Structure 1
Amino acid sequence: MRAEYAIIGGTGVYDPALLESPTTEIVDTPYGQAQVTLGTFQGKSVAFMPRHGTGHSIPPHKVNYRANIAALKQLGVTQVLATAAVGSLQMKYEPGSLVLIDGFLDFTKSRPTTFFESGPVVHVDMTDPYCGRLRQAVKQAAERLGIPIHDGGTYVCAEGPRFETPQEIRLYQSWGAAVVGMTSVPEVVLAKEAELCYATVCMVTNYGAGISPTPLTHEEVVEEMAKNVHRIRALFFDTIAHLDGERDCRCPHAVGSQTPLTGQAEGERRP
């Protein structure tokens, strides 16, 4: 089965009742296996991918991001909506709010961050890491649904799985970043290398260490996500309902005439 649109997120975002004839498949890629649920929504083919695996069992620094993105590309996906739970770095981004990020700072340490590990050197432009056209579509969906959303903001990606120290939070604050999380990199980079349109809506679950008056717990993150996941779900499916297949952004040509991605047979198009 093929799909044109994809949602990457936790199990709470996906509701089987929203897709017609859903089926779960394991996709083999040059980078390992990835699990997806495939179905249709208002006549459009959609793939849902649980980033952290079944039952949220894979920590952020162990997620096989390359397999996940390669699997979506192999299925024919061209447009991806992702969600991420984040901590706030600024008081205006209150717990429960949504942030449509437009840039990132990468503080990951041990993750494979590219498909291009052999052959000629390839450089991919990251001027617009989160597709501006797709972000605009999400913003318009939020306006239609009356869902408040912060338009723009920088995501700091930390390695995890630990939470950040107050000193780290103060540093990120001083740079004017909006939120901090553990999953957007290398996912956003790989999506660009695979020439996918990719946008992320962050759900603020807490203030960062030193901003919050109490120590952070995983339980409060899960509790805040449960309160607001219905808004993310509505936002994503409304966005998909109003999208068409036209991509007049630069994402389909992000790699351009450079070497195809590693793992493709000679003469094949990039995955």
Structure 2
Amino acid sequence: MTVGIIGGSGVYEALDLENEATRYVETPFGEPSGTLTVGELAGEEVVFLPRHGRNHELSPTDLPYRANVHALKQVGVDRVFATNAVGSLREDLPPRTLVVPDQYFDRTKHRPMSFFGDGVVAHLSMAEPYCPHMREHLVACGDATDADLVEDGTYVCIEGPQFSTRAESEFYRANDWDVIGMTTVPEANLAREAELCYVPLTGITDYDVWRDESVTLAEVQANAAANEGAINAVLERAIRDLPAERDCDCGSALAGAITTPVEAIPAGTREPLELLAGEYLDTQ
């Protein structure tokens, strides 16, 4: 198996990998956020991708989400751990707490949500947006470390790059959502279309603005850096103990999802989808 890590704010370097190499990958959907770092941990191949670029030069709206997921698929990744810096919408979830959410609510506006389109339609279930098998494993590994990790919760994903208004923050709290961030959508959707197992490990950096406090970049950066050690400890344990087989339906998520007859799919649309959906397009 090959494990992918998408590193978010505060996590710009891969784990302590052996036999590291840098790999540049081109995709039909443009260039990914940066070159891939490929190495080994406990005998498993690990691929690290910095979500915002090596120097955090890409904003949440401008991220090449499709290229990032496609690049990981190209190099053989089948399971993805994603790290995200988030704000807390609950008093009992203070900064420097890790959360493994089980749901998200999408408030983004300007992002390509799918690999499909341009003459081919696919409808996939997102009832459980994150792989349940990977979630259970990640939580168990968190419990085995010293990390302050909380299981479950709803991640409300906003467009950014600005932080919330106070009215927005209060609205999210009124809906009993738990953490707020800017990057799980459409990453989770694209991972599902690529038939990758995907789970986020979020690190709380602030209380958003609902406590009558302004969120500052300095605060976010300081707490993100403090979360990095705990995040890496959980990820290292999760990779070392990762079961060899996938006990979920993520690997067949596209089965029965494509509604467009194969003869109606334009040739120019089929080519970019070959890696992701070739076997299904052949049987339409």
Q: Same fold (TM over 0.5)?
A: yes
Report the alpha carbon displacement of residue 101 of structure 1 after superposing the two structures with TM. 0.5
Could you list the per-position Cα deviations for residues 74-111 of structure 1 after superposition, in whole angstroms to 9, with x for gaps in the alignment?
11101000110111111111111111001111011111
Report the alpha carbon displacement of residue 226 of structure 1 after superposing the two structures with TM. 1.1
Q: How far apart are the structure 1 equivalents of 2:92 and 2:22?
A: 39
Q: How far apart are the structure 2 equivalents of 1:256 and 1:140?
A: 30
Q: 1:16 to 1:4 in 2, by over 3 A?
A: closer
Residue identity matched to 1:264: L
Report the alpha carbon displacement of residue 69 of structure 1 after superposing the two structures with TM. 0.3
Corresponding residue of 1:112: 112
Contact 2:165 2:209 in 1 (8 A): yes
Q: How far apart are the structure 2 equivalents of 1:100 and 1:9?
A: 15
Q: What TM-score do the two structures reach when normalised by structure 1?
A: 0.93
* Alignment of 1:264 onto 2:273: yes
Contact 1:155 1:180 in 2 (8 A): yes
Report the alpha carbon displacement of residue 25 of structure 1 after superposing the two structures with TM. 1.6
Q: How far apart are the structure 2 equivalents of 1:115 and 1:219?
A: 36
Q: 1:217 to 1:11 in 2, by over 3 A?
A: closer
- Secondary structure of 1:185's partner? helix
* Alignment of 1:4 onto 2:2: yes
Report the alpha carbon displacement of residue 172 of structure 1 after superposing the two structures with TM. 0.6
Q: 1:161 to 1:11 in 2, by over 3 A?
A: closer
Corresponding residue of 1:239: 238
Report the alpha carbon displacement of residue 16 of structure 1 after superposing the two structures with TM. 5.5
Corresponding residue of 2:45: 45
Q: Which runs of 5+ in 1 are unaligned?
A: none
Structure 1 stretch displaced more, 65-74 or 137-146: 137-146
Q: How far apart are the structure 2 equivalents of 1:47 and 1:157?
A: 25
Corresponding residue of 1:226: 225
Q: How far apart are the structure 1 equivalents of 2:202 and 2:251?
A: 24
Q: Quick one: percent identity of the two aligned structures?
A: 40
Report the alpha carbon displacement of residue 245 of structure 1 after superposing the two structures with TM. 2.8
Corresponding residue of 1:31: 29
Tell me the matched-pair count.
268
* Alignment of 1:73 onto 2:83: no
Corresponding residue of 2:188: 188
Could you list the per-position Cα deviations for residues 116-153 of structure 1 after superposition, in whole angstroms to 9, with x for gaps in the alignment?
11334210001111111001111111121132211000
Corresponding residue of 1:173: 173
Structure 1 stretch displaced more, 8-17 or 162-171: 8-17
Q: 1:137 to 1:246 in 2, by over 3 A?
A: same
Q: What TM-score do the two structures reach when normalised by structure 2?
A: 0.89
Q: How far apart are the structure 2 equivalents of 1:120 and 1:264?
A: 10
Report the alpha carbon displacement of residue 11 of structure 1 after superposing the two structures with TM. 7.3
Structure 1 stretch displaced more, 186-195 or 6-15: 6-15
RMSD over aligned Cα, in angstroms?
2.0
Q: 1:93 to 1:76 in 2, by over 3 A?
A: same
Report the alpha carbon displacement of residue 170 of structure 1 after superposing the two structures with TM. 0.7
